[in-house]
Amino acid sequence: MARHILGISAFYHDSAACLLRDGEIVAAAQEERFTRKKGDASFPGNAIAFCLRAAGVGIGDIDFVGFYDKPLLKFERILESYLGVVPRGFVQFLKAGPLWIKEKLFLDREIRKGLGGYEGELLYAEHHESHAASAFYPSPFDEAAIVTMDGVGEWATATWGVGHGNGIELVKEIRWPDSLGLLYSAFTYFTGFKVNSGEYKVMGLAPYGRPKYVDTIYRELIDLREDGSFRLNQKYFNYLTGLTMTGRGFEELFDGPPREPETKLTQREMDLARSVQEVCEEVMLRMVRTAHRETGLDRLCLAGGVALNCVGNGRILREGPFKEVWIQPAAGDAGGALGVAQLIWHRHCRQERGAAGGRDRMRGASLGPEYSPEELESFLGSRGIAYTRLDRPELFHRVAEVLANEKVVGWFNGRMEFGPRALGNRSILGDPRSPRMQAQMNLKIKFREGFRPFAPSVLRERVGEYFEMACDSPYMLLVAPVKEERRIPMTEEQRQELWGIDLLNLPRSDIPAVTHVDYSARVQTVSRDVNPDYYDLIKAFERETGCGALVNTSFNVRGEPIVCTPEDAYQCFMRTHIDYLVLGPFFLDKTRQPKWQEEPDWKKEFQLD
């Protein structure tokens, strides 16, 4: 009889669930996709219900339930932190303490209640072990070094260790309050973005700035050692004693108070972003070099929220000593649900890992809900929506044609992705050759800041023709330089006159919509054996245009989670300037749709990130 394990992450941010059957991943999803609340931290009841449906089992069929961290250890850290800064942290403790005691300290009871009275075995893993397990067990490697980096788990903020066969061992750790993730989050807060969701904006803003504050960060904020370990100077931070990330000393160091959210970005914010990004990359590089030196292994697995820093990941791949790098696509806390389930299977149940055969075990991260053509047609019919049903070759040809004419397409096909990236199942697509596409998609469709770059999806066999990259990058977690011969160099006059955000509208290559101002791109390679429909669509676009890549951004507007259901997709399609929508085999033209009832305040549904 098959054994089923349910993994859960919850109560901090990015709650999620994952279900294994005999060690194989059957389903995984984040709670935010169902509740439409970005980063939803609540108990993942909807995600769990989906996982059970996908496996065709009930909660009574689950052999083990695992939770991704240890609340008692975390409470010990919080209590010791407050006691260490008494009386300054008392106000924060009064706010956080009762919530912890009620919701998190008695977690066993809360989980069983959320699962409808589950009576089976409930197991807990340490936070960074869950991250490490999510990195190593699904990877294509039989043996690898493991590095995890995030804000904080129980006590650890970063670890390195080794994975071999069905075992993982974490050897060294950096402990609270010294945290690379929280250093980056402090600058996220200070530049006016939302902590735990706006960090990728800082990364995208960095190339517009100068590394003006790097020396100040090293001199005042972080004592970085050669092995990647470090200490943070807590006199400049406020997360131990207050309700913000930074204090008055931070303002004195960095030329004034934090930027107010939604106000105009200035050169200072760009310089701050560039500076903290450079420091972050240096810490990452030193950590992985130490892991390589200490383990002697040639392969590296990464997880934890900092492992979503794809610019740093790209440098690790190009400059680090490892021959191969694999990054968990749900590297943040959502991936902890997958990690704890894998830990239970391999460590608690003592099950061996089968040979990977050179491929990872994530199924392209296509682990969420999907809808049959019958379900999609039923939805379309119930709403009186105009559509054309096409067979696959005709659909791919039709979509390639409209993309080549600079139209924007919402693409909803197959299983929803697990993790923060849309990988060709819940995507908005455009023509990378268009110099207007980045601004059009940012401002008219995503309703977000114009500086933010878009990623290319490129045919795996063509990646070397466009980018300085020779490896797979299926999860859009590696940044690579655009090939020199494709670049459009800046003139001397432009170098003298343009700086910062003025560079935005300057085409940088013959694929300008996916080339960032520093001639880089966050690359997704697409293989036919992983995502055949998406591959065939890009192939059709290549036949139409000679270009083997597309612009790929997540199917949502700013502040909204990626669409989950056909209704989510249609609503986003009609509310924005997307020209066409594909729902499975169905092709929808905006001009043929019934009149949409305008909702003047609909953007307020989603809290800005």
pLDDT in tens, 205-239: 999 999 999 999 999 999 999 999 999 999 998 87
Q: What are the angstrom distances between the C-alpha of 344 and each of 20, 60, 129?
A: 10, 18, 11
pLDDT at 155: 86
Kindly state whether residues 297 and 419 are assigned to the same domain: no
Look at residue 89 and tell me if it is in a domain.
yes
Residue 359 belongs to what domain range?
4-127+336-364
Instruction: Tell me, yes or no, whether 309 and 348 share the same domain.
Output: no
Position 172 in a domain: no
pLDDT of amino acid 223:
97
CATH code, 239:
3.30.420.40
pLDDT for the residue 500: 57
3-class secondary-structure state, position 94? helix
158 is a domain residue: no
Are 599 and 525 in the same domain?
Answer: yes
| Chain length of the chain | 609
In a domain, 550, yes or no: yes
Strands across the sheet containing 24-30: 24-30, 16-21, 4-9, 64-67, 121-124
Query: How does 330-357 read in b/e, with b if 16+ C-beta sit within 10 Å?
Result: bbbbbbbbbbbbbbbbbbeeeeebeeee
Same domain, 321 and 340: no
Query: Do 422 and 492 belong together in one domain?
Result: yes
Examine the domain organization and report whether 297 and 428 are in the same domain.
no
Instruction: Report yes or no on 137 lying in a domain.
Output: no
**Which residues fall within 8 angstroms of residue 315, CB to CB, at 6 or more apart?**
281, 284, 285
pLDDT at 303: 98
Q: Which of 310, 345, 364 is the last residue of a domain?
A: 364
Q: Is residue 63 situated within a structural domain?
A: yes
Q: Are both 393 and 495 inside the same structural domain? A: yes
Do 529 and 576 fall within a single domain? Answer: yes
Q: What is the CA radius of gyration of the chain?
A: 23
CA 519 to chain centre: 22
Q: Looking at the structure, do residues 304 and 386 belong to the same domain, yes or no?
A: no
Flag whether 31 is in a domain. Answer: yes
CATH code at position 590 = 3.90.870.20
DSSP 476: S
> Are 497 and 580 found together in one domain?
yes
Residues of the chain with pLDDT under 50: 82, 85-87, 100
- Do 566 and 477 share a structural domain? yes
Domain count for the chain: 3
Q: What is the pTM of this model?
A: 0.94
Residues 552-578 have pLDDT tens digits of 999 999 889 999 999 999 999 999 999
If asked whether residues 302 and 349 sit together in one domain, one would say: no
